Structure 1
Amino acid sequence: MRIGMILDTTFPIDPRVSNEASALIKKGHEVYLFCLSYKKKFIKEEEINYINVRRYYSSTLTHKLSALAYSFPFYRVLMKKKISHFLKKNRIETIHVHDIQIASAVFSANKYNLPVTLDLHENRPEIMKFYKHVNSLIGKIFINPKKWKIAEEKYCNISDNVVVVTKSAKKELLKRVSVDPQKIIVFPNTVNKDFYTEYSIDKSILNKFSDNFVLLYLGNTSERRGLDLVMKSLPIIKDYIPNIKLVVVGSSSFDKSLLELSRKLKVERYISFEGWKDESYFPSYLSIANIGISPLKSNIHHDTTYANKIFQYMSFGVPLLASDVVSQEEIITKFKVGELFVSENLESFINALKNLYENKDSLEYYSKNGRTAIEKYLNNDIVSKELSSMYDK
C-alpha cells in the first residue's frame, strides 16, 4: 500500500514519524512523506531509510500562520494546494496525518476521499495552553485552545482511524468523542532497535564527564519540563554529591531563564548546558549518565503522553528519576526501572535522588530492568504491531 504521511514541519527531526514509517515499511508498505522546508534551496525528493521524502517550500510567515490554523483559514488554504499535489503525484492510497494542526488542510485536499488516519502526537489543545506565543497578548486575542479542541474532536470523528501515544490518552479521548474504541490505536514514543544496537561513541563526551556523577536530561527544555526544580536542588545536593553534574542536552526559548536561575543559585559549575544535539550524539551522553531525569510538571498532557527520553534512558540501562505524572508512574511502576518523586516538590526530588545515590544495588537493578523492558516489551518492533495490523486490514 502507498501510504502518504503528512508532516507540517521539516524532516528528519521527529523520531515518532521515523519509527512509524520504519514499522510500516518492514511490513511491505511504501511510505511517502510530505514535509516542509523553510529554506528556498532544498532537496525536493530523496530517500531516507527507505522513506520517500517529498519536501515543499514553506515561508517563515506560513509556518507562523500554523498557530492560527483554527482561527483563520490562511494556513489551510496555503497547505491545501501543496498536499493535493503530493497526493496526486505520488498516487497515494491512504493518508496518515501527523498531528492536528495540518488536519484541516488534509481533509480539504482529500478530493479522492482516501482513507485517513489521524495521528495525535500529543494532547495539543491542552499543551498549547503553556506555549509562550499563546500566552502573549496577541496570542490571547487570536489563538483559542478551545477551538483546537473542537477541531481535534471533529477530525477524530471523521477520520477512519486515530493513533494516540498512550492508553491514558485513548481513555481521555473517548470521554470526548463518540467513536468505536477499536478505531483508536496506541503507538508509544519508544525506540528502534538500531538506536541502542548500532551507534558510535564520541570519546570527547565520555572524557568530558568522566569524573562526574551525571544527571542526564535529554530533550526540550521548556518551563513545563521541570528543569528549574532540578536546578533548585543543586545547592543542597552538591554538598551530598560533590561531583554531581546536571547535563542538559536540548534547548528551548526558556533557556535564558534557566541560565539566569543557575547564576542566581550559584550552581553554574554543576551544570553543563550542551544545547541541541543531533540524535546520533545521544548514545554518547547516555553512556556517561548515572541517572536519567524526567521532571515533568503535572498537567493533562503530561498525564497522557510518554516522553521519548524515558525509553532512550531505558534502552541504555540508565536508571530513571521521574515525576509522578500518570504516564511516567505507569512505566516506572510496571517495569521497575527507577524512582518517582512528587511532581514540582523539591523535597521529594532531593530525597529520591539521595536514595538512588546511596543504593548502588538499586541502580544496577533498575539498569538491568530497563534494558530488559526495552528488549522484550517496548522496542519499536513490538509496540508497532497494532499500527501494522491497522494497515493490513
Structure 2
Amino acid sequence: MKIGVVVDNEFDHDHRVQKEIRLLQQEGHSISVLCFDFKKTYKTYPNLIVERVRIPRKVRDLLVLLSTNFNFYEALWQKHITTFISKHKLDALHVHDLYLAKAASKGIQHSQHDIPLTLDLHENYPAAINSYEWAIKGWRKYVVQPQKWYHKEGDYLKYADHLIVLSDSFKQDLTQRFPFLESNTIYVHPNMPDFESYQAFEKTDYAVAFDSDLPTLFYFGVVAKRRGIMDVLPWIIELLEEGTQFHTLIIGPTDKADKSRFQSFIDHPVLKDYITYIPWADVKYLPAYLKKISIGLAPFQVNAQHDSGVANKLFQYMYGEIPILATKCKAQQQLIESSASGLLYSTKEEFKQAVHELITSKSLRAELGANGKKKLLALYENKTDRQFLNIYKELN
C-alpha cells in the first residue's frame, strides 16, 4: 500500500514515528511523510519520501495557540494534506495526534480519494494540554482555553477509521467514555524503543560526557514540572543532607516556563556537586549512558495524561537493565508490577526510602534490572509493538 504519514513536527527526531515507518516498510508498504520545515537543513532518507511544509516556528506556535477556537491551523494542514494525498495517490492516511484528525478527514474529502484514516494518539491530548504551562498560565489560558478539548475529543475521534493508542488502559478508558468506539478498531502500540537501532548503537563505543564513582539516579527526557522531576529534586536534596551518597544525571531540554526554577536546583549549595545536567544528547548515545547509571527515574505526576501510556524512558531503562523508580501512574505501575522491574512511590517518604534501598543494595538493583530486560524481550517476542501493522494487513 501507499501510506501517507502526517506529523506536525520536523520528523527527524520523532523516534516513535520513525520506528513505525520502518516496521511498515518491512511489511512492503511504500511510505510518504508530510511534516514541518522550520527553515533548517535536514537529512535525507534514501528509501522515504519526505515533504516539508515550510513555516517559521513562531508562526506555527501562534497558530497552535489559536487552534482551539480558530481553524487557521486546521486549514493549513487540510490544504497540504489534500495536495499530499492526490500527488502521491495514497491508499491510506496515518495521522499523528488528536488535533490533526479533522484536518486529515477534510483533506481526504477534498482530495476526492476515498481512503481510510488511522489516527495515532501519542497521548491523552485533552489531559496533556491542560497540564502544559504555556497553555494554562497567564493570558494564554484565555486564548488557548484548553478545557474545551475535553468536549472536542469525542468529535475528533469520530473522524478516524482506526485508532492507535499507547496502552491497554487508555484503550479501555476511551471505549468506556465513548461507546461509539469499537474495540476491534483500536490498536495498542506502546513506546518501546527500536531494538534493532539500539543494538546498532552498541556496536560503536560512544564516549559520553559523564562519569561518577557514586551510584547514579538518571532522568532522561523533557525537564518540566508536569514531568514530575521538579517534585523529586527537593527530596534528593534532603537525602544528600541526611548523608546518603549518590549522584543525579539529568539529560533533556528544559521547558521555558521551568528554566529559572530548575536552574535554582542546579545551583543549590548541597546539590550542585552531586548533579550533572546535559541539555541534549542524541538517542544513539543512550546505551552508553545506561551503562554508567544505577537507577532510572520516572517521576511523572499522576494524572489522566500520564495514565494513558508508558513513557519510552521506562522501556529504555529496561533495555539497559536499570531498576526503575516511578510514580503510580496507571500504565507504568502495571508494567513495573507485572515485571518486578522497579519500585513505586506515592509520597516523599516512600521515594526517599526507595532511593536508599536501591542505593545500598547492588543485588536488588541487579535483580530488578534483569527482570526488566526479561520483560522487554518478552514483549518483543510477542510482537507487542507490531500489532498496529494489522490495520494495513486488513486493508490490503
Could you tell me which residue of structure 2 aligns to residue 151 of structure 1?
A: 152
Does the 8 Å CA contact 2:208/2:289 hold for their aligned counterparts? no
- In the TM superposition, 1:232-311 aligns within 5 A as 232-238=234-240, 239-242=242-245, 244-253=246-255, 254-264=258-268, 266-311=270-315
Q: What corresponds to 2:338 in structure 1? A: 334
SS of alignment partner, residue 133 of structure 2: coil
Shift of 1:52: 2.7
Q: Indicate conservation of the 8 Å contact 1:216/1:285, yes or no.
A: no
| Shift in CA distance, 47/203, structure 1 to aligned 2, threshold 3 Å | closer
1:389 is matched with 390
Residue number in structure 2 paired with 1:31? 31
Tell me the residue number matched to 1:6. Answer: 6
Show the counterpart of 1:186: 188
Kept after mapping to 1: 8 A contact 2:163/2:185: yes
Q: Equivalent residues in 2 for 1:65-144 (5 A)?
A: 65-111=63-109, 112-144=113-145
The offset of 1:262, in angstroms, is: 3.7
CA positional deviation for 1:323: 1.0
Note closer, same or farther for the CA distance 1:294–1:95 as it changes in structure 2 (3 Å cut): same
Partner of 2:219: 217
Compute the displacement of 1:6 (Å).
0.5
Letter in 1 for 2:78: K
The offset of 1:245, in angstroms, is 1.2
1:15-26 alignment, distance < 5 Å: 15-26=15-26
Asked whether the 8 Å contact 1:329–1:340 carries over to 2, the reply is: yes
CA distance in structure 1 between the aligned counterparts of 2:216 and 2:360, rounded to whole angstroms: 15
Amino acid at match of 1:96: H
State the one-letter code of the partner of 1:234: I
The answer to whether residue 56 in structure 2 is matched with residue 59 in structure 1 is yes
Q: Give TM-score, length-normalised by structure 2.
A: 0.92
Q: How high is the sequence identity, in percent, across the aligned residues?
A: 28
State the 1:220 CA deviation: 0.9
- Which shifted more, 279-288 or 144-153? 144-153
Which region of structure 1 is more displaced relative to structure 2, 287-296 or 170-179? 170-179
Choose which of 371, 377, 381 in structure 2 pairs with 1:375.
377
Measured in 1, the distance between the counterparts of 2:343 and 2:230 equals: 19
Query: Is the counterpart of residue 196 in structure 1 residue 193 in structure 2?
Result: no
Equivalent position amino acid for 2:237 in 1: P
Deviations 1:24-79 (A, max 9, x none): 1111111211111111x545x9426x443221212231343123223101111222
Aligned-residue offset at 1:93: 0.9
Please give the TM-score of this superposition, normalised by the length of structure 1: 0.92
Report if the CA contact (8 A) 2:224-2:230 is conserved. no
The aligned residue for residue 312 of structure 1 is: 316
User: What SS does structure 1 have at the residue aligned with 2:135?
Assistant: coil
Secondary structure of the residue that 1:130 maps to in structure 2?
Answer: coil
Q: What do the CA deviations read for 1:181-224 (whole angstroms, capped 9, x no partner)?
A: 1111111011111243111333343xx31423111100111101
Asked whether the equivalents of residues 70 and 151 of structure 1 are also in contact (C-alpha less than 8 Å), the reply is: no
Q: Which moved more, 1:192-201 or 1:160-169?
A: 192-201
Question: What is the aligned length?
Answer: 384
Q: Deviations over 1:268-292 (max 9, x none)?
A: 1111111122212212211211111
By how many angstroms is 1:155 displaced?
Answer: 2.4
Unpaired segments ≥5 residues, structure 2: none
Which residue identity does 1:353 align to in structure 2?
V
Contact 2:33 2:49 in 1 (8 A): yes
Counterpart Cα distance in 1 of 2:63 and 2:388: 31
Letter in 2 for 1:315: Y
The alpha carbon displacement at 1:265 in A equals 6.0
Alpha carbons of 1:231 and 1:201: their partners in 2 closer, same or farther (altered >3 Å)? farther
- How much has 1:378 moved relative to structure 2? 4.2
Q: Which runs of 5+ in 1 are unaligned?
A: none
* Separation in 2, partners of 1:284, 1:83: 40
Structure 1 stretch 160-169 or stretch 187-196: which is displaced more? 187-196
2:351 & 2:380 partners in 1: Cα distance? 26
Q: Which aligned pairs between 1:323-362 and structure 2 lie closer than 5 A?
A: 323-342=327-346, 345-362=347-364
Instruction: Decide whether the 8 Å contact of 1:188 with 1:306 is kept in 2.
Output: yes
Contact 1:231 1:262 (C-alpha < 8 Å) held by counterparts: no
Task: Tell me, yes or no, if the aligned pair for 2:99 and 2:156 is still in contact at 8 Å.
Answer: no
Distance 1:17 1:153 in 2: 24
Structure 1 stretch 149-158 or stretch 187-196: which is displaced more?
A: 149-158
CA distance in 2, matches of 1:214, 1:370: 18
2:108 and 2:41 map into 1 onto residues whose CA distance is 26
